Structure formats: C-alpha cells, structure tokens
Amino acid sequence: MMKLILALSLATVTSGFAPLSVKSASSNVLGAASAGKPQNDWSDKPGYQPKSTTPVAARKPNRIQRRKMKDAIIDPDYYLAAGFALLCPLIIWYHPSYDPSGGPSLIGVCGGLFHLLFGALLWIQTLRVRCVFEKDGFEFYNIKGPGLDLENGAWLERKPDNYVAGTRNRWSFDSI
C-alpha cells in the first residue's frame, strides 16, 4: 500500500515537469536561425531612441480661485500605530531565546516593548494632532477640548512655535 501511495505521489509531482505534448524537431538543425524574421509583436519595433521630455506643469489656481478654496483637514489614520503595537507580541514570541528554561529573550522583550511604546506614541499623536491644508500652505494644529472630537465641541489650536528653529509649524506650498 505504501509503495502505491509513493508511486502516485511521485507521478503527480513529476508530471509538473514533463511537457504536455512533444513537438517534432525541425529537420534542419539551424531551422530557427534560417526561418527568417520571428513573428511576434515586438520584433518590428525600433531600438531605443532617446527623446527629450519636458515636464508638464500642473495648473496653478489664480488668486480668485485660491481665495474660494476651503481648508482641508486630513482624517486620522491609525494603521501605522496599530501595526507597530501589533509587532510587540510577534517580536517577543519569535525572537530566539537562549535560556535553558525556554523563557522569553530579554532582547525580544525590550524590542517588543519599544515597538509597543512607539505605537502608543503614534496613536496619541494621531489622536491629538491634525494637518490642515490651507490656501497657500499647510500647518499642524492641536485638538483641544472635550473628548478631542471636533464634531462635539473640540477646537483646533495652532501648535506652539518650533523650539529648535524658532518658527511656526507652517510650510507654504512654494517652499516645498
């Protein structure tokens, strides 16, 4: 019985490497070379010919259109924060341990906790910071108020100046 199972499994595995039909070889050894031009759709195309390209500038709105634009707030996205936090148990579980008792590795625990803390930081910042695109640039704002929910009484407050550069956290589209 085992020999039959082994023979059937070998037959199914090796059948993937055998061609379905064998074509007869041409009588001429150089048949492929002397047959002329191959009949495919890329053989008639010319070789590479460099062309000069000029970038097409995007249409810039004029002053009137720019004044009519509304500010846009990007919705929060927690996928990156959740991804870092979910890496924590995977790093702890899959990092090799050299402990004879089979306990978790100290390096794995430290690496997992680092990812968990970084994910928590990203989660909190995503919860309380918004990027607002205005008419001529974008700026980061903090959400203040009850529940950090803009629809239920919270408001946007300009972030404090950048303590390193001493400037506002605002970037104009012309400087990017």
* Helix, strand and coil in the chain, % to nearest 5: 40, 10, 45
pLDDT per position as a tens digit, 114-167: 999 999 999 999 999 988 888 888 888 888 988 877 888 888 888 888 888 888
What is residue 116's predicted lDDT score, i.e. its pLDDT? 96
Q: How much of the chain, in percent, has pLDDT values that exceed 70?
A: 74
pLDDT band at 103 (very low <50, low <70, confident <90, very high): confident
Length of the chain: 176
Report the C-alpha gap between 143 and 152 in whole angstroms: 12
Give kind and range of the element (H or E) at residue 129.
strand 129-133
Torsion over CA: 160, 162, 167, 170 (sign): negative
CB atoms under 10 Å from CB of 28, counted, come to 10
Q: Looking at the DSSP assignment, which residues form a beta bridge with residue 172?
A: 137
Residue 71 has a pLDDT of: 84
Pick from 33-42, 51-60, 75-84: least confident: 33-42
- The pLDDT of residue 32 is above 70: no
